């Protein structure tokens, strides 16, 4: 059975309703259209899910945003932070909720969520240095970064003995082990999942985010590859100098479409060090 068939089998063994419930993808539409909705409409929609509201307020009140006083309602949060920030918060709360049933130790969960969030932030920050002809828009690049490893969450939720099979699964950057042990990998699972929930334009990019066979000149692969790698190095290295040393500029991924240079990367990383990212997910 080839990996694609294995992925189909993986999904066949899970109740489709459960698959669709993993990610509250209706929130993607809500967040994407947030500029066209009134504050009351946004509040009304979000308020139907108490769990979601508490997740959103927890993020809003985390030291990451540095607000001076406690925010107690969605309406107040929108007024204080504005729609762009709320959009990112909604996406992030959706990702956090998707990991609720994953079989994850506290430390691994924090790693996975932080890795996804930092990848998303880097995609967003680097956006203006990327050729405008990319098919993704700025908020979609954030979402793409946030969801690029959603396959890991799916596998951690539905493969019960995953931890025994691949103890290093969460922090492992190489998919060969997954292919060897399971016949499939999180990139394929994640890409297939995006198609199931109705976001096919994310499918190919997520499917190929560890592949070296894709068209290397494609801006979007390079951007996601760069953000993914920096995020990974950021979480596994002690200092920004060490990180830069490990970032191979020969291999990655600056081309004529992405004008991100070493200084820009260093500047971005030092900003990341100052943010309290842990507080978003604890
Ligand atoms: Fe990945
Ligand atoms: Fe990743």
pLDDT at 12: 95
For residue 131, the model assigns a pLDDT of 63
Q: What is the Cα–Cα distance from 232 to 114, expressed in whole angstroms?
A: 10
Per-domain boundaries in the chain: 13-98, 104-282
pLDDT of the chain along its 282 residues, tens only? 899 999 999 999 999 999 998 998 889 999 989 999 999 999 999 998 898 899 999 999 999 988 888 999 999 999 999 999 999 999 999 999 999 999 999 999 999 999 999 999 999 888 776 665 566 777 788 999 999 999 999 999 999 899 999 999 999 888 999 999 999 999 999 999 999 999 998 999 999 898 766 665 577 887 888 899 889 989 987 676 777 777 766 555 455 556 677 788 888 888 888 899 999 998
Decide if 198 contacts 25 (C-beta within 8 A): yes
| 54 neighbors 129 (Cβ within 8 angstroms) | no
Taking the centre of ligand 1 as the mean of its atom positions, its distance from the CA of residue 223, in whole angstroms, is 14
- For domain 104-282, the CATH architecture is Orthogonal Bundle (1.10)
Give the whole-angstrom CA distance, residue 271 versus residue 275. 7
Would you state the pLDDT for residue 137? 75
Say how many Å lie between the CA of residue 37 and the centre of ligand 2. Answer: 32
Give residue 210 CA to ligand 1 midpoint distance, Å. Answer: 6
**Residue 48 Cα to ligand 2 middle (Å):** 32
**Measured in angstroms, how far is the CA atom of residue 23 from the centroid of ligand 1?**
18
Q: 174 — phi, psi (to 5°)?
A: -110, 130
Mention every residue, 6+ apart, whose C-beta is less than 8 A from residue 132. Answer: none
Ligand closest to 146 (CA) is: 2
Q: Residue 205 C-alpha to ligand 1 middle, in angstroms?
A: 11
Name which of 155, 139, 145 is nearest 224 in CA terms: 145
Return the sign of the alpha-carbon dihedral for residues 178, 223, 196, 157. Answer: positive
Cα of 148 from ligand 1 centre, angstroms: 6
Query: What does the block give as tokens for 200?
Result: 């096919």
pLDDT of residue 249: 60
Amino acid 262: pLDDT: 77
- The β-bridge partners of 258 are 130
The pLDDT, as a whole number, for residue 197 is 94
Contact 131, 219 (CB under 8 A): yes
- pLDDT, residue 150, reads 97
State in Å: Cα 72 to ligand 2 middle.
33
Distance in Å, CA 160 to ligand 1 centroid: 20
- Give CA–CA dist 76/73, Å, rounded: 5
**Which residues lie at CB < 5 A from ion ligand 2?**
149, 228
- The DSSP-derived string for 9-28 is HHHHTS-HHHHHHHS-THHH
CA of 260 to the centre of ligand 1 (A): 22
Distance 100 CA to ligand 2 centre (A): 19
Closest CA to 95 of 119, 78, 79: 119
């Amino acid at each position: 059975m080839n990996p694609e068939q294995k992925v189909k089998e993986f999904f066949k063994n899970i109740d489709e309703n459960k698959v669709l419930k993993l990610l509250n993808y209706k929130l993607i539409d809500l967040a994407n259209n947030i500029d066209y909705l009134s504050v009351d409409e946004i509040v009304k929609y979000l308020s139907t899910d108490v769990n979601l509201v508490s997740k959103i307020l927890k993020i809003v009140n985390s030291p990451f945003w540095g607000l001076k006083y406690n925010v107690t309602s969605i309406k107040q949060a929108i007024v204080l932070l504005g729609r762009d920030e709320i959009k990112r918060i909604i996406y992030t709360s959706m990702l956090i909720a998707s990991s609720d049933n994953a079989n994850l130790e506290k430390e691994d969960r924090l790693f996975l969520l932080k890795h996804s969030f930092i990848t998303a932030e880097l995609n967003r920050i680097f956006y203006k240095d990327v050729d405008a002809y990319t098919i993704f828009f700025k908020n979609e690049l954030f979402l793409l970064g946030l969801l690029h490893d959603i396959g890991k969450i799916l596998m951690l939720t539905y493969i019960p003995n995953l931890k025994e099979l691949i103890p290093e699964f969460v922090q492992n950057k190489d998919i060969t082990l997954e292919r060897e042990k399971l016949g499939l990998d999180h990139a394929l699972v994640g890409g297939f999942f995006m198609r199931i929930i109705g976001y096919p334009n994310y499918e190919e990019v997520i499917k190929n985010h560890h592949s070296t066979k894709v068209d290397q000149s494609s801006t979007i692969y390079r951007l996601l590859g760069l953000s993914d790698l920096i995020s990974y190095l950021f979480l596994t290295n002690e200092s920004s100098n060490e990180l830069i040393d490990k970032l191979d500029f020969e291999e990655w991924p600056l081309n004529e479409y992405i004008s991100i240079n070493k200084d820009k990367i260093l500047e971005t990383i030092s900003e990341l060090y100052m943010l309290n990212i842990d507080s978003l997910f604890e």
